[in-house]
Structures are given as C-alpha cells and as structure tokens.
Amino acid sequence: MTRFSLFLLLTLVTLSSVGCSHNYYNIPRETYEQKVRTLGVAPIFVDADSDIRHPERDTLVALLKDFNRKNEAELVAGIKNAGNYFSVALLNDDADKLFSNIFFRREKRDDAGIIYNKYFYKGPEIRDIISKNSLDALLLLVVSGITTRENVYSSNLLSKLDSDYNYLIVSGQIIDAEGNVLWEFPNFRQRRLTYPKFLALQYPDFDEAAANETDKVEVKFRTIPGINRFLGKSSPSSFRSKGSVSDAYSAIFDDMISMLRHPSNPFGGDKKEKTQPQPQLQNQPAPERQPQPAPPAQPTPVKSDVPVPSRNVPPPKIDAPVTIPSPPGSPAGESINSPTIAPAN
C-alpha cells in the first residue's frame, strides 16, 4: 500500500508539472501569445562602458562582439522551436550603432538577492524599430560587466576567499511598441530565483598561495587567450543541422528559452538532443568450435576358440606354516615355525 501511494503521488506531481505551465511573462500568457506573433531579435549588444575591469578591456570587448555574432543564430532558432510565434527574425543592424541609438541608461540592481544590470531604452526609437520591421515586439540582450562580493572556493573545496570579483552577465528584455516590458531576464517570476553568470573574469589563485606557503591569496584576471578558449568550446547545435554553438552561450540561451517555451511544447517539440559520439563496437570473430574429444574406444571382443576361464577365481590358497626341522642339539619335541612379518605401524 505504501509503494502504491508513493507511485500515485509521483504521478500526480509529474502530471501537474507538465499540465500546469508556469507564466514567466509580466502579462498573462494568453495575452502575450495573442499580442506577440512576430518577434524581432536584436543583435546581442556589448556594453563597453559597464563595469568591465579587465586590464585588456578593449581586446575583451572585441572578442565578445565576435562571439556574439557567431552564436546569435542559435538563440533565434531556439526561440522559434520553443515558442508559438508566426515569425522570429534577427535584425540586420549593426549592434554598436543600434545600441547607441536606443540606450537610455543602465542601473545596477539588487532585487531579491539577485544583482544585475537593468537597462532602460528610448521609447520612440524602440517604436520606430518595431514599426519599420513590422514586428509585434523586440528582444534585446546585453552582455555587461558587474562586480559582486562572493565566497569562491578552491577546486578541492578546502579553501575559500571572500572578495570582490568581476563578472560578465547577460540581461534581456522583450519590449512592445508602447515601451512595455513583457518579459525579462533575469526573470523574477521563477518558482526558485536563479541567475547564472555568463563568465567569471577573475579567480582566486589558491595554488600560488600554497606554493609560496602563505595564507594571502591573490585575485587574478583570466587571460585573453584563456577566455578565448573558454568561449570557443562548442557543441553541435540542438536546432540547426550542421551548426554549432558555444557551450557558454548555450547555457544562457537554454535558461532563457526554458522561460519562453509554449505550454503545448513543454519539452521543446522537435528539439534535437545533443548527441554524444557513440563508441564504435568492433566485430569480434566468433570463437572457433573446439572439436569434442572422441569417446574412448571400447575394446573389440576377440573371438577365440580357446575357452575363456571362469571369472570366479578361487581365492589364493594359503599354505600352512612350514615346520623347520630342529637343528642338532635342540630339545626334542620343539618345533620352530617360520617368522611372521608384522604389519607396519
């Protein structure tokens, strides 16, 4: 009975989680779906004037812009796959010029324990872009820098350092022609608030402190080649055949898309799972059949005219002790028997 009750409870939880979709929009989901049928996606911006403290700031900004261009198509394809839009299109505009034209101000916020950069845009410019491209709403994403105080642990979890660390984060909004924010990232309508950071620009060097026998741990910046290698790690696209996407971008995109998914498509519809290469199985030759040993040959009876003696052989006849004649001089009447061999102990 207990096992059946547990099974029933798990079934109800599963059905409720699938059947009852959660609304991540700032308006009712049904209203959003009726209102936004054509969604425009602006090229991903980099806010070079935000709190990016890397010593090679300009090189880093240029690197980010390059990776933004390479991965934007994955975001568009993911939203198309997950949503209920008539059209999702990437705007063919220069990212720097577009951001400069619509940017109004940036505000560092701490809402419900989540620290992020909130962006405000110029209403008339947003309205013009939406009207010019025949859109219902526009998705804007910005990569920016932010500094927060955190405890960072060593790789073996035996040490930690409480300090200020510089990060790159991604902020996003879907805005309509009236300037209403219909959806935002970080999203504060989650059941459990989370906001993954895009890239840590700094790290505590525990290994150097240990090598120098000191408790003073320095906070260092990641090198440009190291950041390039980190952003360059890619996997096959989940939505585009023969495409690939940076793992760092994919993690952020997946988090966003999960909150833009249409309830009729709770698991991503035709979303292709990222396939891992399967190990090739080598055909092993079949083991040779070992010849079975022939049964021992039975002796062939030989016909003979000589009569075969009976198998009932009588037991050997044991002779009586032999009487040895008495040597001369021995007493009369004594007989000497042959010696008997005693059994070995």
**pLDDT tens-digit map of 17-26:** 444 468 999 9
How confident is the model over 259-291, as pLDDT tens digits? 998 776 544 444 444 444 444 434 444 444 555
Strand ranges inside the chain, DSSP E = 38-41, 45-46, 87-90, 103-111, 114-121, 137-153, 160-176, 181-185, 199-200, 202-204, 219-221, 234-236, 244-246, 323-324, 336-337
Domain assignment of residue 315, yes or no: no
User: CA-to-CA distance for 95 and 71, rounded, in angstroms?
Assistant: 14
pLDDT value at residue 102: 98
DSSP letter for 191, please: S
Residue predicted with more confidence, 100 or 305: 100
Q: Give a yes or no: residue 61 inside a domain.
A: yes
| CB atoms inside a 10 Å sphere around CB 192 | 4
Confidence (pTM): 0.72
* Between residues 329 and 186, the one the model is more confident about: 186
The answer to whether residue 285 sits within a structural domain is no
Crossing angle between the packed helical segments 247-258 and 224-232, to the nearest 10 degrees: 50
| Number of domains forming the structure of the chain | 1
**CA within 13 Å, CB half, 38:** 10
DSSP secondary structure string for all residues of 125-163: HHHHHHHHTT-SEEEEEEEEEEEEEEEEE-TTSS-EEEE
* Residue 132, Cβ density class (10 Å: 0-12 exposed, 13-18 middle, ≥19 buried): exposed
* Cβ atoms 102, 122 nearer than 8 A: yes
Helices within 121-274 (DSSP H only): 123-132, 206-211, 224-232, 247-258
Q: How confident is the model at residue 294 (pLDDT cuts 50, 70, 90)?
A: low
- What confidence score (pLDDT) does residue 84 get? 85
**Could you tell me what percentage of the chain is helix, strand and coil, using 3-state DSSP and rounding each to the nearest 5?**
30, 25, 50
Least confident of 54-68, 159-173, 268-282: 268-282
Those residues with Cβ within 8 angstroms of residue 168's Cβ, 6 or more apart along the chain or in another chain: 52, 64, 143, 144, 145, 146, 197, 198, 199, 201
Question: What pLDDT shows up at residue 315?
Answer: 55
Taking residues 131-154, report their average pLDDT: 97
For residue 187, is it within any domain? yes
pLDDT for position 83: 79
* Strand 45-46, strand 137-153: pairing: parallel
* Longest alpha-carbon distance in the chain: 158
Question: 88-92, 109-113, 164-168, 334-338: lowest mean pLDDT where?
Answer: 334-338
221 has pLDDT over 70 = yes
**Any idea how long the chain is?**
345
In a domain, 244, yes or no: yes
298-333 pLDDT tens trace: 555 544 444 544 455 455 555 555 454 554 554 444
The per-residue pLDDT for 173 is: 98
Tell me the pLDDT tens digit for each residue of 71-87.
999 999 999 998 789 99
Task: State how far the Cα of 73 lies from the Cα of 68, in Å rounded to an integer.
Answer: 9
Residue 168 has pLDDT above 50, yes or no: yes
pLDDT of residue 345: 40
- Residues spanned by the domain of 104: 21-145+169-200+236-258
DSSP 8-state class, residue 270: T
CB 165 within 8 Å of CB 195: no
Q: What percent of the chain has pLDDT over 70?
A: 70
Give yes or no for residue 145 having a pLDDT over 80.
Answer: yes
Q: Give the count of beta carbons closer than 10 Å to the beta carbon of residue 254.
A: 16
Residue 130 lies in a domain: yes
Whether residue 202 has pLDDT greater than 80: yes
Average pLDDT, the chain: 82
Instruction: Compute the average pLDDT of residues 1-5.
Output: 57
Task: State whether residue 242 is helix, strand or coil.
Answer: coil
- pLDDT for res 297: 54
First to last CA, the chain: 73
- Residue 30 included in any domain: yes
| 27-37 tens-digit pLDDT | 999 999 999 99
Least confident of 133-142, 150-159, 327-336: 327-336
pLDDT at residue 45, as a whole number = 99
The answer to the question of residue 192 being in a domain is: yes
Phi then psi for 257, rounded to 5 degrees? -65, -35
Residue 3: per-residue pLDDT: 61
Q: Is 27 helix (H, G, I), strand (E, B) or coil?
A: coil
Confidence of residue 60 (pLDDT cuts 50, 70, 90): very high
